[in-house]
Chain A
Amino acid sequence: MEPEAPIPDPRVASASDRVGATAALIALSGAVFLPMYVLRANRIVPGIDQPLGAGGPAAWLLVLFAAGAFAAALFLRGRSRERAELACAVAMFASLAWALAYAASTLAPEPTSSARVSIGAGAWLAMAGAAALWFAATRTPTGAVERTGAAALAAVSWLAAGVWGGLSRLSVLREYALQANTFWSEVGTHMALVGIALGLAVAIGVPLGILSSRVRWVRTVSLSATGLIQTVPSLALLGLLVLPLAALGLPGIGPLPGIIALTLYALLPIVRNTYLGLTQVESSAIDAGLGMGMTRLQLLLRVEAPLALPLVVEGVRTATVMTIGIAAVVAFIGVGTLGVLIIQGLGYQADDLILLGAVPIVLLALVADAALRAMGRLITSPGIRVEAR
């Protein structure tokens, strides 16, 4: 085999970036045509839409950056386009934070009043557009430094807007101020539940995956059983667990069934990827290993495991992102995860409470995703890394 030269993506090389342009256009139209901020006299009454200009100079900057991203996506090429799009996406996030902060502190200046400003449809759309633009700019697997730097910049701009710009007056954050204690205990419970379930799923799933690659009937049983579990809706699975647990004299609600359910869901990606990782090891490498006098265990540890590990970590990543989401549902059986806030918010029709539960779940999933991707890259031998030359 000759070393393969990276094949330039023709879309990136020659044409304009339609994904990026669409993303910029979505953000732009959101900011211009839809209400960016909503003012409410109190938590329950319907809100009054506020125009773009209520966000002050930052709001106009947002429009400017979105337009800039649109132009960059259409007229720039290659690396310079990716850089321009990423810079615009970061700038859009930052200006959006400051526009929201400005609107929150000018429309409802009295900290003690019950009037509050919440994020409008236009701002959500702008955020979604900026995020899509971000992904459009980072499609090619290069520039890890730029990507990390951009993420840090965006995070810092929101934090700064929170500390100095009055973003904390925004309704979600006022809700947070009221709920801070429960919020953090729920974050803790949420993470603990996910952590325990993943630990169990790895402890069961990896050996099961190894066994599946060796024994045909184990493969048939384990892959179809874990696949079947995936098809059961999470709420239904929690319900289905009540009976067998009761038969064992165990409680059908609380952390135990929650952990069992999450573990069951996490099993499929881990078992399947362990199995796939082991079966895609080239048979010639196995033949050579055995032929040179490795025992089955040495072959597993020195050859098969390092070659399968990237896929296993990929499975753990999928399982993690999935369980972080499903852990919210476990709130229904009386476990204090972030789902509690969502359920309460739905009950009170309090959007801010729902957001306070949902946004951290998304952030947790994003952070876990990035962390496990980074870990996957670290443990993958340079010899089998996809992007290496």
Chain B
Amino acid sequence: MITLDDVTKRYGDKLAVDGLSLNVDEGEVCVLIGPSGCGKTTTLRMINRLVEATSGRIAVGGRDIRSVPPEELRRGLGYAIQSVGLFPHLTVAQNIATVPRLLGWDRGRIAARIDELLSLVGVDPGAYATKYPRQLSGGEAQRVGVARALAADPPVLLMDEPFGAVDPLTRERLQTEFARIQRELRKTVVFVTHDVDEAIRLADRIALMKDGRLRQYDTPERLLDHPADKFVHDFMGVDRALKRLVRVRVDSVMNAAVPTIDESSSPEVMADRASCAAQRFAYVLDVEGVVQGWFDCRALEGGQQAGAGVTRIDWRESTVRPDASLKEALSRMLELGFRSIAVTDDAGHLLGDVALSGIEGAFSEGDSHIASAGTEEQQP
């Protein structure tokens, strides 16, 4: 879909990008990453001709980008940037309408598209369409920025650290939502970041650059397991095993058959149900099926009254969603001191759980190399 062939960008004596060749397949997320000054942003900006390549050839959809006027080219390439760049004098709706208006869409089509896009990026169209950018939080502004980039439904998205300017918690939420949107839309995405975790999480393939040169271009797994050289190895970090967990979703190792009991049950019933389970505990649900806590039958041995042995939790704090990464699940478990953690939907309904043993399993079954590499590191 996007092909860079021996592309070079020279500023005076300095080579910003040096003989870069890269191919991004349709529907793939290609993440450009590297230390600052490595030429990743320059590369991105050469694709929509905000920067003109000194030499080499760039093609999008098989067409040389120099064969069309730059404005026409850019209207077909969604563009989202770190500083968002929303137009402060226009409302959210007018901002999103920018490219459709340039393309001459009619009002009805634009209005419908705005509603559709705001819903897609998780912003309530009714409440936000008429707001101005400065009335938005950082995360909301980034969402609107992505919606604006998607406005004219371009096949290609160019994103320059689109989640760079928000706090880590918001960034993680935006990444999760971006992954969801991408599963739905299957755009061809070129994504610049300096955050290795973000790259591993979102990329189908990572292009690791240094000093304007491409050092390795491969899947995140391959970069983690088979780094081309010491630079790649070091850049990916020492916690490669943990980073691997970012690639695995909770629902892929989730244990769906977990024992549950109703919160109104007597201690005897609770003990009985719980002792049937191998773990000797069960999740306590309310009538709606929302997780309220768990029951540990060992706590019952003293013979207490109703409610004893029940540990109450707030599902918003102490559970994970099915589309979270295993790294997030593990991190939560370590933080809370649990050996397993409940998986719920957005309303708190129990879907299953993930145990430490399940996470260990993910190491061995997916790629034995990772698991063994991890062991070797533990025994130098």
Q: Do A and B bind each other?
A: yes
* B-binding residues in A (CB < 8 A): 1-4, 282, 284-295, 298, 302-303, 306-307, 381-384, 388-389
Would B84 and A284 count as touching, CB distance under 8 A? yes
Residue B137 lies at the interface, judged by CB distance under 8 Å to chain A: yes
State the CA gap A258–B99 with chains docked (Å).
48
* A-binding residues in B (CB < 8 A): 48, 50, 70-76, 79, 81, 83-91, 98-99, 102, 132-138, 141, 148-149, 158
Would A307 and B71 count as touching, CB distance under 8 A? no
Would A284 and B81 count as touching, CB distance under 8 A? yes
Would A3 and B71 count as touching, CB distance under 8 A? no
Would B99 and A292 count as touching, CB distance under 8 A? yes
- Find chain A residues with CB under 8 A from B75 CB: 292-293
- Find chain B residues with CB under 8 A from A389 CB: 135
Would A383 and B102 count as touching, CB distance under 8 A? no
- Find chain A residues with CB under 8 A from B84 CB: 284, 288
Would B74 and A290 count as touching, CB distance under 8 A? yes
6 additional contacts, CB 8 Å, given A288-B81, A293-B76, A307-B88? Answer: A288-B79, A288-B86, A289-B98, A292-B79, A295-B71, A303-B87
Would B50 and A287 count as touching, CB distance under 8 A? yes
Would A292 and B98 count as touching, CB distance under 8 A? yes
Would B102 and A291 count as touching, CB distance under 8 A? no
Would A291 and B138 count as touching, CB distance under 8 A? no
State the CA gap A193–B331 with chains docked (Å).
75
Specify which of B88, B138, B149 is in contact with A285 (CB 8 Å cutoff).
B88
Shortest beta-carbon contacts, A-B, top 5: A288-B85, A383-B132, A293-B75, A381-B89, A293-B74
State the CA gap A388–B135 with chains docked (Å).
10
Specify which of B74, B137, B141 is in contact with A292 (CB 8 Å cutoff).
B74
The contact sample of 25 A-B pairs, CB cut-off 8 A, is A1-B138, A3-B135, A284-B85, A287-B50, A288-B84, A288-B85, A288-B87, A288-B148, A289-B87, A289-B98, A291-B48, A291-B74, A291-B81, A292-B99, A293-B99, A294-B71, A303-B87, A307-B87, A307-B88, A307-B89, A381-B132, A383-B89, A383-B132, A383-B133, A388-B132
Known: A303-B87, A383-B88, A384-B89. A287 touches B81 (CB 8 A): yes
- Find chain A residues with CB under 8 A from B135 CB: 3, 389
- Find chain A residues with CB under 8 A from B48 CB: 291
- Find chain B residues with CB under 8 A from A284 CB: 81, 83-85
- Find chain B residues with CB under 8 A from A383 CB: 88-91, 132-134
- Find chain A residues with CB under 8 A from B136 CB: 1
Would B102 and A384 count as touching, CB distance under 8 A? no
- Find chain B residues with CB under 8 A from A288 CB: 79, 81, 84-87, 148
Which chain A residue has the least Cβ–Cβ distance from B90? A383
Would B102 and A293 count as touching, CB distance under 8 A? yes
State the CA gap A382–B132 with chains docked (Å).
8
- Find chain B residues with CB under 8 A from A282 CB: 83, 85, 88
Which chain A residue has the least Cβ–Cβ distance from B149? A292
Which chain B residue has the least Cβ–Cβ distance from A290? B50
Would B88 and A384 count as touching, CB distance under 8 A? yes
- Find chain B residues with CB under 8 A from A298 CB: 102
**Chain A nearest CB, measured from B272 CB (Å):** 52
- Find chain B residues with CB under 8 A from A381 CB: 88-90, 132
Known: A1-B136, A383-B132. A292 touches B102 (CB 8 A): yes
B70, B84, B134: residue with the most chain A Cβ atoms closer than 10 Å: B134
Would B72 and A293 count as touching, CB distance under 8 A? yes
- Find chain B residues with CB under 8 A from A3 CB: 134-135
Would B85 and A1 count as touching, CB distance under 8 A? no
**Chain B nearest CB, measured from A285 CB (Å):** 5
Would A1 and B88 count as touching, CB distance under 8 A? no
State the CA gap A295–B76 with chains docked (Å).
14
State the CA gap A24–B146 with chains docked (Å).
57
State the CA gap A303–B90 with chains docked (Å).
9
Which chain A residue has the least Cβ–Cβ distance from B73? A293
Which chain B residue has the least Cβ–Cβ distance from A310? B89
State the CA gap A389–B149 with chains docked (Å).
27
- Find chain A residues with CB under 8 A from B88 CB: 282, 285, 307, 381, 383-384
**Chain B nearest CB, measured from A287 CB (Å):** 6
- Find chain A residues with CB under 8 A from B137 CB: 1-2
State the CA gap A288–B81 with chains docked (Å).
7
State the CA gap A287–B74 with chains docked (Å).
12
State the CA gap A1–B50 with chains docked (Å).
27
State the CA gap A365–B165 with chains docked (Å).
47
Which chain B residue has the least Cβ–Cβ distance from A303? B87
Known: A2-B137, A291-B50. A285 touches B132 (CB 8 A): no
